[in-house]
Amino acid sequence: MPAKLVHNSYGKSAVRLTKVTRLADRHELAELTVNIRLEGNFARSYTQGDNSAVVATDSMKNTVYVLAKQHPVDSPESFALHLAGHFVQTYGQVRRAQVEIEQSSWRRIDVAGEPHPTAFVSEGSEVRRATASADRNGKGSHVRGGLGKLLVLKTTDSAFTGFVRDRYTTLPDATDRILATEVSAVWTFGSPGADYNAAFASIRTAMLETFARHKSDAVQQTLYAMAEAALAAEPSITGIRLRMPNKHRVPFNFKPFGLEFENDVYVTTDEPSGEISAVVERASS
């Protein structure tokens, strides 16, 4: 049958590593999950079963550990760039390498008010993210930072009114509702070599503070304000993509029990959820 292979890629997912850097006065801990994806001259593996150009995904896994030993792993962005560059430089058949890294959040345990040098407690589900790609011809290479699973909730200063009201509408206007969301963000650096850790900290703080202070007329508006704040806080990024699902807290209907809902007790739900997203870029002034 006449068929053609119009796109292909392959790689390794979920390579997990823990790196401990043993300094004189403390240990540094980095816990990463790495995904690698290669594109290039691999078509004959699909069409002929000819693996002569194929870098085994098991070898990719080995490479992650070997390079993690030799690299400081001081930011996920720098390690992602290093890995992506390695694959393009080492293997002529690789046209493009993409590396995604997710870093778990750990902080030091406080012992008698002091952060312990070698013991850590998880900050939970929030993750820091980085992606880098390297292209053989140099075009399309990029480095991005990001975060995910950042759950935030505000108990006031959130309204949703004035939306389309038609035969499918039952939602009443809300002038004071709970706004809860799980923020995912990806930001693009204008060029490699930024201070990725400082950028992460300043963007995260700017978004959290804006979320807290914003008088919200829509999740959309809060999202946009957070994106603006991120761009203002961090000159090294050129744009940011935000995704903020609306994790609804639904007023419990107390009427059947002779009581009133007084913005006090809500039903916590996961689904369905609103899905709000946007890409905001720095405007040329």
Is the Cβ of residue 42 or residue 196 nearer to a second copy in the bound state? Answer: 42
Q: Cα 228 vs. chain centroid, distance in angstroms?
A: 18
Residue 248 designated active-site:
yes
Residue 12 designated active-site:
yes
Q: Is the dihedral of CA 20, 34, 81, 230 positive or negative?
A: negative
Q: How many residues bind a second copy (CB under 8 A)?
A: 137
Q: Is 24 near a second copy (CB under 8 A)?
A: no
CB of 270 to a second copy, least distance (A): 8
Q: Is 238 near a second copy (CB under 8 A)?
A: no
CB of 242 to a second copy, least distance (A): 10
Q: Is there a contact between 204 and 237 (Cβ–Cβ < 8 Å)?
A: no
Interface residue with a second copy among 109, 193, 195, 201 (CB under 8 A) is: 109
Q: How far apart are CA 208 and CA 259, in angstroms?
A: 35
CB of 215 to a second copy, least distance (A): 9
Is the Cβ of residue 198 or residue 212 nearer to a second copy in the bound state? Answer: 212
Interface residue with a second copy among 19, 85, 95, 148 (CB under 8 A) is: 19
Q: Is 199 near a second copy (CB under 8 A)?
A: no
Residue 86 designated active-site:
no
Q: How far apart are CA 190 and CA 209, in angstroms?
A: 24
Q: Kindly identify the residues of this chain, within the stretch 48-77, that bind a second copy according to CB under 8 A.
A: 48-63, 65-66, 68-69
Tell me which of 19, 27, 33, 57 is the catalytic residue: 57
Q: Is there a contact between 126 and 138 (Cβ–Cβ < 8 Å)?
A: no
Of the listed pieces 77-85, 119-127, 128-136, 194-202, which binds a second copy according to CB under 8 A? 119-127
Is the Cβ of residue 138 or residue 171 nearer to a second copy in the bound state? Answer: 171
At 162, list the tokens.
């004035």
Q: Is 80 near a second copy (CB under 8 A)?
A: no
Q: Is there a contact between 123 and 53 (Cβ–Cβ < 8 Å)?
A: no
Is the Cβ of residue 29 or residue 193 nearer to a second copy in the bound state? Answer: 29
Is the Cβ of residue 123 or residue 193 nearer to a second copy in the bound state? Answer: 123
Q: How far apart are CA 4 and CA 40, in angstroms?
A: 16
What DSSP state is assigned to residue 230? H
**Long-range contacts formed by 70-75: CB under 8 A, 24+ apart:** 72/21, 73/19, 73/21, 73/30, 73/32, 74/30, 74/197, 75/130, 75/196, 75/197, 75/200
Q: Is 23 near a second copy (CB under 8 A)?
A: no
By the 10 Å C-beta count (0-12 exposed, 13-18 middle, 19+ buried), 177 is classed as: buried
Q: Kindly identify the residues of this chain, within the stretch 134-193, that bind a second copy according to CB under 8 A.
A: 150-157, 160-164, 166-171, 178
Catalytic residues: 12, 57, 248
